[in-house]
Amino acid sequence: MTSAPAAPLAHYAAFKRMGDFVFLSGIIAVDPARSLVVTGYQDIPPEAARLIGQTGEMSVDVKEGPILAQSWWVLDRIRATIESAGGSMADVFKLVQYFRDLRDYPHYNRVRKHFFPTDPPVSTVVQVTAMLPDERVLVEVEATAYLPLKG
């Protein structure tokens, strides 16, 4: 499954390289090409939905789907963005995670383990009252990677 790197929603860079470091802007689960805020499993590839826990039971999927799908979308865009800069998720050493509700953190953490199975980055978790573009956005993640310049 090939995903596009993160795309800014306004006038800012998705990432910037400063020497051996790559800094990613906060990434949210929004696809600007489709003007879509990811709100559930239907907005991500079926194989990703199954991987992160889609049960097929409406009562479960309606409750867990939004945060699990958004978590996958955000982390997958971080992966694609880091790869576009020449690195991999193994190069990511720091995450700052912003949640509208900290009760969503355990669900996000389950998804994060798929992207960092053995050596998780250092991490900061913060609860905020709002995120752009609207209240459907549940999580935003910014990442920092160490990616030595070649040559």
Range of the domain at 78: 15-146
In a domain, 8, yes or no: no
In a domain, 1, yes or no: no
Q: What share of the chain is helix, strand, coil (3-state, %, to 5)?
A: 35, 25, 40
- Residue 150 has a pLDDT of 82
pLDDT digits (tens, 9 = 90+) for 49-73: 999 999 999 999 999 999 999 999 9
pLDDT digits (tens, 9 = 90+) for 120-149: 999 999 999 999 999 999 999 999 999 998
β-bridge pairing 122-127 and 92-99: parallel
Among candidates 78, 82, 67, 73, which has minimal Cα distance to 26?
78
Identify the helix (H) or strand (E) that includes residue 76: helix 58-84
In a domain, 65, yes or no: yes
pLDDT at 43 over 80: yes
Token output for 86: 């020449």
- Please tell me the total count of domains within the chain: 1
CATH number of the domain that residue 39 is part of: 3.30.1330.40
Give the other-Cβ count within 10 Å of 38's Cβ.
24
pTM recorded for the entire structure: 0.93
In a domain, 139, yes or no: yes
